[in-house]
Amino acid sequence: MSDTPIYVSKCSFKNFWQEYRIYADRLEFDTLGGKMTVPFEHVETAATTNSDVADMLKGDLKLKGFRPALKLDWANVVEHVVLDRDDGLLKRLLFSPDDPRAFCEALNSALDAYRAQHPDHAPPA
């Protein structure tokens, strides 16, 4: 596994002072409950989304495609990243890096590079 992070999210109030890192082959979350690692081979998709609370006030309950999720921080209240994976009890993670769009762009670029080198780990089309 690579030891140099590609992207490190700054700790802040919105992510409970937790640090989220992208490496060439994995994601690492330093959370209040300990370090969690998600290897890229288990990542299906990553995307940003608006605050769930703000969308609910507009009438969007986000029921289409609903999956139970593990929330690592204030993800329901602020713009956040939705990470779907193919393993674990809860296959969806919600978390709020310092800049969700920049984090997601860096993550998707790293995933593309990883999948180019490891085509057997690409998600099914």
Structural domains of the chain, with CATH: 7-117 (2.30.29.30)
In tens, the pLDDT along 30-70 reads 988 899 999 999 999 999 988 765 554 444 444 456 567 88
**Comparing 60 with 9, which gets the higher pLDDT?**
9
Count CB neighbours of 114 within 10 A.
19
Order the strands of the 19-22 sheet from edge to edge: 7-8, 19-22, 26-31, 34-39
- Would you state the pLDDT for residue 69? 81
As a whole number, the mean pLDDT across the chain is: 86
- Would you state the pLDDT for residue 120? 87
- Would you state the pLDDT for residue 71? 83
Does the pLDDT of residue 78 top 50, yes or no?
Answer: yes
55, 62 Cβ separation under 8 angstroms: yes
